[in-house]
Amino acid sequence: MITVDIYKVLQAANGNIMLNIQLDIAKGQLVTLYGPSGSGKTSTLRMLAGLMPVDKGHISVQNQRWLCTKENINRSPQQRSIGYVFQEYALFPNMTVRGNLEFALEKRQNTDIIDELIAIVELEELQHRKPNTLSGGQQQRVALARALVRKPKILLLDEPLSALDIKMRSKLQDYIIKVHRQYELTTILVSHDIGEIMKMSDKIYCLEDGKIVKQGNPIDIFTNTRVSGKFQFTGEVIAIKKEDIVYVITVLMDQNIVKVIAQESEIIGLVIGDKVVVASKAFNPMLLKVEV
């Protein structure tokens, strides 16, 4: 549905990087662009939206050409029919929540969609408030709803949840999954939160220095397929401590902190901040019911 082949020289902090991205995204998929900052994730999204010029390449969506530098085709952002959610919300401060949504309406468009979207993101109570009186999570819900008013086929999310706390994040993720399914969207998400990617994405593109270095489904990318573990979790190393002959590695998984024993050979090259997979063969796991 979306095919992209773009090339651009980006000015980064440490010299120029050549961005060269090929994407092939099927209808209805939710894909993630993942990678360190400065790897070109946001730039890719901005070029898709038409907010940043492309040096060379083409973008086509549902057999319509949005960009083709060879034939001088370049649709403006206004003509691209996308929903775009910015990291910093970008709500219009002079309009109420409802006003922000109404502003997005097209001429002669049925206004029922406004109430529908306000109901989906549960903002009925807050619809007459100004954005600056809302919390970050509420503002991002408004931004999500506003991006969908014109019923776009494609939703672009630029690290939409990075400014929110973990609890709010997980709630927003549910909203995003909900609208993604309900409106049959094709969604491209920029994220560097592995938990979020595992939960939401069908496919992941790993970017490094403007190139795609790996792509596939998130479980294959983030877990080490050499181990046929029964339990597998990914997390981030937050401490490495030597105790007698073994090492105790503290790993942050989602919201849980877990301590794992490791041999010296396992921690070669491992530093704090690394992403790791914790896997267990688990021949005899204990199963306990949680009383609530």
Partner 1 sequence: MIDWEPIILTAKLALVTTTILLILSIPLAYWLATSTSKMKPIIETLVSMPLVLPPTVLGFYLLMVFSPGNTIGGWLLEYLGVQLIFSFSGLVIGSVIYSLPFMVNPIQSGLSSLPASLSEASYVLGKSRIKTLCRVLLPNIKPSLLTGIVLAFAHTIGEFGVVLMIGGNIPEKTKVVSIAIYDEVEALNYSNANTYSLLLFIITFVVLLTVYAINGGYLKRFWK
Residues that bind partner 1 (CB under 8 A): 49-51, 76-84, 86, 88, 90-94, 103-104, 106, 146-147, 149-150
Question: Residue 132, Cβ neighbours under 10 Å: how many?
Answer: 8
Beta carbon of residue 90, minimum distance to partner 1 (angstroms, whole number)? 4
Pick the closer one to partner 1 by CB: 163 or 260: 163
Amino acid at 147: A
Pick the closer one to partner 1 by CB: 132 or 265: 132
Interior angle at CA 131, CA 126 and CA 137, nearest 5? 75
Pick the closer one to partner 1 by CB: 38 or 77: 77
Beta carbon of residue 172, minimum distance to partner 1 (angstroms, whole number)? 18
Question: Residue 176, Cβ neighbours under 10 Å: how many?
Answer: 25
- Kindly list the distances between the CA atom of residue 93 and the CA atoms of 96, 98, 99, 129, 238, in Å, as whole numbers in the listed order: 8, 12, 10, 10, 39
Beta carbon of residue 104, minimum distance to partner 1 (angstroms, whole number)? 4
- Kindly list the distances between the CA atom of residue 215 and the CA atoms of 22, 29, 85, in Å, as whole numbers in the listed order: 11, 14, 24
* HEC per residue, 202-243: CEEEEEECCEEEEEECHHHHHCCCCCCCCEEEEEEEEEEEEE
In whole angstroms, what is the distance from residue 168 CA to residue 158 CA?
Answer: 17
Pick the closer one to partner 1 by CB: 20 or 96: 96
Q: Which are the contacts of 150, defined by CB distance < 8 A and separation ≥ 6?
A: 81, 83, 104, 105, 106, 109
Q: Which residues of 180-218 are buried (b: 16+ CB within 10 A; e: fewer)?
A: beebebbbbbbbbbbbbbbebbebbbbbebbbbeebeeb
Beta carbon of residue 79, minimum distance to partner 1 (angstroms, whole number)? 8
In whole angstroms, what is the distance from residue 234 CA to residue 253 CA?
Answer: 6
Pick the closer one to partner 1 by CB: 76 or 255: 76
Beta carbon of residue 180, minimum distance to partner 1 (angstroms, whole number)? 18
Beta carbon of residue 33, minimum distance to partner 1 (angstroms, whole number)? 18
Pick the closer one to partner 1 by CB: 82 or 221: 82
Q: Which residue has tokens 């991006």?
A: 147
Pick the closer one to partner 1 by CB: 61 or 206: 61
Pick the closer one to partner 1 by CB: 106 or 244: 106
Beta carbon of residue 93, minimum distance to partner 1 (angstroms, whole number)? 6
DSSP three-state, residue 91 = coil
Beta carbon of residue 78, minimum distance to partner 1 (angstroms, whole number)? 5
